[in-house]
Chain A
Amino acid sequence: MSERSHRHIAPAVLGAKVLLALRSTAAAQALGGGSPHLPPKPAEMSWRDYLIMLLHIGGELEHALMVEYLYAAYSIGGAGIGPRADVVRGWQDEILTIAREEMGHLLSVQNALLLLGAPISFERDDFPWSGPFNAFPFELEPLSLKSLAKYLYSEMPDPDTVKGPDKALVARVEALVGPDAGVRVGQVYDRIIALVEDRRRVPDSAFFPESYDSQMDWDEWGRSYRPESHKPYAAHPEIPPAGSRKTTVLVPKVATRTELAAALRAIASQGEAEHLSVKPRAEPSHFDRFAKIFREYEAFLLEDPSFTPSRPVPRNPVVAEDADFAPEGATRITHPESCEWATLFNVRYRILLTLLTYAASGPREHPELAKERRPTVISRIFGEMYNLKAIAGMLARLPLGDPADPARAGAPFQMPYTLVLAPEASFWRLQLELLEVSEELIAELLARGPELPDGGRYLRALREADAVARGWIEGVLGLKRKSPSRNA
């Protein structure tokens, strides 16, 4: 959660460092509240307001997990994989699948906020960041057994409900993550769901069913990520058909309290809390997926203690003008070309987040215009996801600093200073400016002569696609068009 939220859930005088310490189970318990590890509702907030804040926190957690998983997935590669490439490629697919599902969770949280008449949010804090609702401090790190253990812990069902071989696994995970691990994501959802279902504290009048039409839905955002339909007359329609993709990006629209509670249960069940699952599982939970990877990883280490699935990418890479600006524990990218790529990454990340905020924010001052522009906005959002994928892949192959050093760079995922939505024209002005900044970076990179041949091929295509996008924005802003103005 953002720094400003901290005062609502912890004494205002506490700074981030103290909060890090408070994250320990014992400290959190000391704060009391309905859930043993979670702080109580502050006295200065209404219950509806508190629910909205919890949803904001839930969104931040989903955002953070998604980014951490993406970073881990993009770190995969390099010589340490050896002959296990097929299995490790499967891990990468699984982690990316989980990240996609987290994206669905993040969008679903925005729908919940819209139903409550609340502002949406794609915010989160940068490294260093933690709080009483985090299982661990936010951290971008390469895939390792330890990082896997953290993901497993975050997505873990209530340990008391775990049975069979998973019981021993949970013990190994807890040993790896140590005693400072905080609350699991499922616990946060427990509290949110309990509040949603509490008619006394959150009355019917707190819901805005008319927001339904403005909410995001699977048809627009799901990208066909769900199991295929059964052939007719399926004996067991509750089990996905054989050979079907084992993933579902959930983006349920919600019109009622009941639907909202069901949606939140579905989200929690998909990743974090087995006990919230009301139907037989359509696909493995995030916990199941990570558990499979964890076990395979353990087996590989037994066979070959030098096994590593990751390239030598840093922890918490950042772009910082000066070493003094890099937070403690972060790794500054210093190789000039990598630094430009990382900056380009941050610009594209900002484009993505601002477009997402625009698309998710419900009725705007010009609903008709927003409707006309929606196809382009959605296309741009997914396009930017592909750009992040491309640049992150590039950074994981480029030097961190000294080219002779095997250390590689990584995608910094640094947040912009704000995601507050500007009025329509200003919003598009910002988009135009961000594309112009990108163009400058692309030009510099091309002038430099990218180290990787793929880099040049990608940048030329990116430059061209951006030119078309700029032409489109100039058109809607009524500015004189630059070439190419046409269907390129």
Chain B
Amino acid sequence: MTIRELRILPPFAIGRLGSADEPLDNYTIVNDPDAPLGFRKIVPQPTFVVDDESGAISAVRTPERFEPTSGEHIRPVAPFLEVWARVDDELDLQPLTTTLLEKHGCSVDDLAWTVRVANRKAERRTGDPGDRVEAHAGPFSDHGKHVLEGHSPNFLSPERVLVFGDVRFLRPTAAFPEIRLRFTPAKGLIYGPKLTPEEIEEMREADPSVHNLHVVPDELAVYDKTKGWWKFSIPPGVRNADPNIDTFYNETLPPALFAIIPPGPVWLNNNVAVSRGYLDDACDGTVEVALALPSGERLEAVGRIVASPPAVVPDALFLRTLADDLDQVIFGPDVPSDEAEELTRARAEDILRRGFETVRYLNVSVMNGNPVQGRDPLDIDTMPAEEAFDVYRAERPVFAPETADTLAILALHQRVYSALRSGSAPWFPVLLRKPEDVGDFTDIGRRKMPALMAGADGNYLALTRRQIDTVVRAARRSFSMPEVDLTIEADSDPSRLVPRNRTSAESARRAAELHHVAAGNPVSSRPVTSVGNCTPGLEVDFRFAWRRVFKGLLLREYDNLVMEAEDPQHADLVMHRLLRVEYPSPDGSPEPRAFDTTCTQIGPNPYDTVTESVVLSYEANPNGVAPLEWSNLLARMLHERTGKTVTCFFTRDEADLDNPAWDPSKRDEYLARTFVIRAFFEGETAMISRELARPGELTQGLCSPWQNDYRECSCYYWAAARPDFVNVEADPKGRSAGDNWFQKDHDGEYVPDDYVDERLVLYDDLFNHWEKWLRFTVRGRTDEGTGK
């Protein structure tokens, strides 16, 4: 008998920042079967008490209530990563324990942990590898805390560090013999350059309306301001789509997501963005464990950790989460024809439930582009305003303005959900937005579901293809489907959430690992609580997991531009754009499978707004081209061609300043090359391959510091994670009334989010006191059940 294989479970654990000493207690969320339309119930779960001195679990307690804060401090989410083992030829994994180790002639001392995390946010903007902040711990086998000290060549000295938190190999005991590591993320501090009083004064004078300019305290002033991140900027004309710009700048999308010298935001100030040089203590990276067997063989396993902002709406799940995208990678974009109809139906219901949970936090009237208190809707940050800015057109409300009201639309979604629970097949698949139609800004196109929100490509949000197919399949189910008392997936005990699908044993096992609920881990440490529409995302920027999927190439994360050729034979492709992917159709059809990497943005033709459309072009984008998000675009390719080759077509010329689209008439002119498709996960695990993303890469597109994101991105990106509308009740006239989550005083008087109103939380409020202003929202309210 021998241990054949190790796993770290979960393979993707989300830590959440907070400065409280005590990590957040374990909790989960469940649906009340008697109140299926209500909020999910937060249920405290058995919580490990870790003895600070010994590093052992000293007790297990189940708290009486959910308390996300401790005084003025938010309690960090500090997930456990468990080690599981496969013994001999057994298929199932079992927890690795001291007993199991001893049984195989090993001891705890034969285990060694190595942790690597990084923050590449500044590097992603400046392009300077010296701006990368990296931390490394291990290999270690002891049970003390290992602080993840981040170093950077551009820090003032090797002694000045940015702390990403710590990791600790918990000391196994007789009561808790399992092998586990705990990652405790950082406090959510903002690091930066050490400025002179004159430089600080200069910043103050740049915008006198900022009365509380954040000043990086000396102990956090680690950055050498002679380096590029302090006062980093690019010419405003780049963001103004000035067609005269002839220099390439490697921005990410959305651009300028970093703290800038006031005034902000950038788009209200002629797109001038000069960096304050801030760095946050969020990160992502890998945890490796190695076991030296008596035979001399060495087993290894690896998992990923990420440190991200807190989950401020703990009792809601977003419509499209990272779990949906990862499940699509695991199972492919289609629901298998042999999936049990009850399971498909349950998943369809779950999607709709998450839909109304998302609607609940949108001020639908505002997000629809209606005038707000008589003000121009273009002053308010919404998806229709974003659309107007993107295509240089006047703003139009999406739905009939008279119909847009949060409680009304929420109720309608709930009625649809109720009807589905009666056994009615979904009648609305045609209303779901197709991923290739996200640039359709005609009336019908914009009203597709999900509405009013942005997707990873900055256009209107689409569900994953697998989610869409789930609803389509549920609509086609047989007339004689057994009437069973289904438990909706999201109603289930978390441990029963998997497998989500029984496509095949391998997929099911992989999914079970991905969604594994490690003992002691709150639900907010799991991918189901991570927003999936990565524009750029909150926990991770999932676009960065796809950049190396064509082996030998590195693409820019959002627009198919070849940035690097890891394989020298493709060096000539750098700065060319990938336009199309083809491979032989697996069904034997003579037509190849083909995926164009862009869509065309279209809008209503003023001559006939119902029937006809026009290309929404402008000088810098004459063909109205918009790149499509890879997670949906390449899902089928990944499912069908992993480890195999595909043919990619690139522009013949460098296209760093152009927005070309696939033109079939030029097929022979394009550069056609063959690439192998990389495996998304390592081996048989559900761990996103290290070949695809290195430590720090999954978070490098996110805001720097992340606090900026809450100010810059309104709720139409991530409604259930960054709410807009809270404390909502019907007023005596019957209209929805409540607070903007981001207004300082929650007094029932909604303050439109215009970025500069002092009644709102502004940049420096967040930089100074983010734990005060990011208010937990439970049962839709900010004033109850949050421990404050």
Contact residues of A with B, CB < 8 Å? 76-79, 81, 85-86, 88-89, 96, 217, 219-220, 224, 226-232, 234, 237-238, 245, 368-369, 371-376, 378-380, 382-384, 386-387, 389-391, 393-394, 397, 452-458, 460-462, 464-465, 468-469, 471-472, 475-476, 478, 484-488
Contacts and interface: CB of A to CB of B under 8 A. Distances in A.
Given A383-B412, A476-B733, A487 B418 contact: no
Contacts of B479: 76-78, 81, 85, 88-89
Contact of A369 (B37, B403, B612, B733): B733
Contact of B615 (A232, A375, A380, A389): A232
Contacts of B731: 475
B613 A229 contact: yes
Contact of A464 (B35, B440, B612, B780): B35
B422 A460 contact: no
B444 A372 contact: no
A331 to B, nearest CB: 22
Contacts of A77: 479-480
B409 A379 contact: yes
Contacts of B414: 383, 461, 464-465, 468
B416 interface: yes
Interface in B465-501: 476, 478-480, 483-486
Given A77-B479, A238-B611, A458-B418, 14 more contacts: A89-B479, A232-B605, A374-B402, A374-B403, A375-B408, A380-B408, A382-B412, A382-B415, A383-B415, A390-B422, A455-B422, A457-B422, A458-B419, A458-B421
Contacts of A390: 418-419, 421-424
Q: List the 8 closest pairs (A to B, CB-CB), nearest first.
A: A383-B415, A390-B422, A375-B405, A458-B422, A461-B418, A375-B408, A219-B400, A379-B408
21 contacts: A79-B480, A224-B447, A229-B440, A229-B442, A229-B613, A230-B612, A237-B611, A371-B402, A373-B734, A379-B412, A380-B411, A383-B415, A384-B415, A387-B415, A389-B427, A456-B485, A457-B36, A458-B422, A465-B418, A468-B37, A468-B407
B444 A487 contact: no
Contacts of A76: 479
B296 interface: no
Interface string B231-249: 0000000000000000000
A358 B614 CA distance: 38
A17 to B, nearest CB: 39
Interface of B: 33-39, 360, 399-400, 402-412, 414-419, 421-424, 427, 430-431, 440, 442-445, 447-448, 476, 478-480, 483-486, 600, 602, 604-605, 608-615, 728-736, 738, 779-781
Given A476-B734, A487-B728, A228 B444 contact: yes
A224 B476 CA distance: 21
Q: In this complex, which of A81, A231, A393, A486 has the most chain B Cβ atoms within 10 angstroms of its Cβ?
A: A486
Contacts of A85: 478-479
Nearest to A239: B611
Main SS of the interface on chain A? helix
Given A229-B613, A461-B36, A464-B35, A394 B732 contact: no
Nearest to A371: B402
Q: In this complex, which of A88, A368, A455, A458 has the most chain B Cβ atoms within 10 angstroms of its Cβ?
A: A458
Main SS of the interface on chain B? mixed
Given A77-B479, A452-B423, A488 B412 contact: no
A426 to B, nearest CB: 16
A390 B407 CA distance: 22
Contacts of A488: 35, 37-39
A254 to B, nearest CB: 16
Contacts of A78: 479
A5 to B, nearest CB: 33
A454 B422 contact: yes
A473 to B, nearest CB: 9
Given A228-B444, A229-B613, A376 B411 contact: yes
B729 A486 contact: yes
B40 to A, nearest CB: 12
A279 B417 CA distance: 39
Contacts of B615: 232
A471 B410 CA distance: 15
A169 to B, nearest CB: 27
A487 B478 contact: no
B730 A378 contact: no
A344 to B, nearest CB: 12
A248 B159 CA distance: 70
Given A217-B400, A378-B403, A379-B409, A386 B419 contact: yes
A88 B476 CA distance: 11
A433 B448 CA distance: 35
A393 B414 CA distance: 18
B37 A465 contact: yes
Given A81-B479, A375-B409, A464-B35, A386 B729 contact: no
A229 B422 contact: no
Contacts of A369: 733-734
Nearest to A378: B403
Given A226-B610, A231-B602, A465-B411, A460 B424 contact: no
Contacts of A455: 422
Given A85-B479, A219-B400, A230-B613, A376 B602 contact: no
Contacts of A378: 403, 408
B483 A464 contact: no
A391 B421 CA distance: 11
A118 to B, nearest CB: 23
Contacts of A382: 412, 415
Given A229-B610, A460-B34, A454 B733 contact: no
A479 B33 CA distance: 29
A475 B734 contact: yes
A394 B400 CA distance: 33
A14 B411 CA distance: 48
Contacts of B417: 461
B611 A220 contact: no
Contacts of A394: 422-423
Contact of A237 (B37, B486, B612): B612
A484 B34 CA distance: 13
Contacts of B33: 460
Given A228-B444, A486-B781, A386 B483 contact: no
A220 B402 contact: yes
A320 to B, nearest CB: 25
A451 to B, nearest CB: 9
B438 to A, nearest CB: 14
A138 B265 CA distance: 64
B419 A387 contact: yes
Contacts of B34: 460
Nearest to B441: A229
A474 B728 CA distance: 16
Contacts of B611: 227, 229-230, 237-238
Nearest to A388: B419
A234 B36 contact: no
Contacts of A379: 403, 405, 408-409, 411-412, 415
A462 B424 CA distance: 14
A476 B403 CA distance: 18
Nearest to A485: B729
A462 to B, nearest CB: 5
Nearest to A366: B733
B400 A376 contact: no
Contacts of A478: 732
A224 B486 CA distance: 31
Contact of B444 (A226, A397, A471): A226
Contacts of A374: 402-403
A393 B422 contact: yes
Given A374-B402, A376-B407, A390-B422, A461 B444 contact: no
Contacts of B445: 228-229
A373 B430 CA distance: 29
A380 B734 CA distance: 13
